[in-house]
Amino acid sequence: MKIYLNGKFVSKKEAAVSVFDHGFLYGDGAFEGIRSYKSLVFKLKEHVNRLYETAHTLMINLPLTKKQMIKAVVDTLKTNNLRDAYIRVIVTRGEGDLGLDPKKCFGRPGVIIIADKITLYPKELYNKGMEIITVPTVRNCPEALNPRLKSLNYLNNILAKIEAGNSGYNEAIMLDHQGYVAECTGDNIFIVKDGILSTPSQGRLKGITRDTVLALAAKTKIKTEERLITRHEVYTADECFLTGTAAEIIPVVKVDGRVIGNGQPGALTKKMIKMFKTETTKDGVKY
């Protein structure tokens, strides 16, 4: 495996950052998870735009232009001879001292790109559906650390993931600071009720797969809503599914012990999965 590290390709053993890097010391940086399908990097431009938006808010001046970043991602895939892969792009503020002040970071921000395989959930869950729970850990408040920032500090999500795992579940719903459904630890969430596809409007990441689902629904005249959603509405939904770059689209059939619909992946969920798979073959950057 060859890893892109600040403009050079190095081996896995050689890929290292300084212990004084602010990304390591404080989670001071940004990242993106991207997928390639049959030599097409799905929604690469959208992922790069989101990365640069996060970096802009964090006031990290990336050393690459967007065009150069896209090329670096493609070059990483080519160097590793990968047609189907998961790509992790990591940006750190760079090396500094032990203090918090980012102004004391010297040199250029770091850029790391890793391309490899990933399996987020067992294959059988995509066929029969997944059971999830709601965990006590609340999603970050937008006024504290905005969930739309895909930063290197994912401790909020990790704590929720730990709670899910301790209870024997692969994934869990996180509520926002007002008690509404926000998202899951690593995925966005959708529900279907009376033919209407709904997803939370606040307290969550602006997911690329989420936006793709909304766009596909609009194309096929499926009514969609981005709004506040309560757990009661999830419990009484006809269907439920999660979306994410690594997860793609996965059905949910039980939440907090409540069966969703008839306890099987729903018709609209299956339709979205099929449409999404088709979309991954044509919307992106070929290499």
Which domains does the chain show, CATH number per domain?
Answer: 2-116 (3.30.470.10), 123-279 (3.20.10.10)
C-alpha dihedral over 214, 217, 222, 224, to 10 degrees?
0
Nearest residue to 241 (alpha-carbon basis) of 129, 137, 160, 164: 129
> Residue 188's beta-bridge partner residues?
243
Tens digits of residue pLDDT in 215-235: 999 999 999 999 999 999 999
pLDDT band at 168 (very low <50, low <70, confident <90, very high): very high
Give pLDDT, residue 120: 85
pLDDT at 166 over 90: yes
Q: What is the mean pLDDT of residues 99-103?
A: 95
Give pLDDT, residue 107: 84
Burial zone of 61 (CB within 10 Å; 0-12 exposed, 13-18 middle, 19+ buried): exposed
Q: Do 243 and 209 form a contact (C-beta atoms < 8 A)?
A: yes
pLDDT at 269 over 90: yes
Q: Do 61 and 187 form a contact (C-beta atoms < 8 A)?
A: no
Cβ atoms within 10 Å of 216's Cβ, excluding its own: 19
pLDDT at 119 over 90: no
Q: What is the mean pLDDT of residues 135-142?
A: 96
Name the DSSP letter for residue 49: H
Give pLDDT, residue 42: 98
Q: Do 2 and 76 form a contact (C-beta atoms < 8 A)?
A: yes
Give pLDDT, residue 146: 96
pLDDT at 24 over 90: yes
pTM: 0.95
Average pLDDT, the chain: 97
Cα–Cα distances in angstroms (integers) from residue 149 to residues 93, 102, 189, 250, 282, in the given order: 15, 17, 18, 24, 27
Q: Which residues are known to be catalytic?
A: 150
Q: Do 228 and 105 form a contact (C-beta atoms < 8 A)?
A: no
pLDDT band at 249 (very low <50, low <70, confident <90, very high): very high
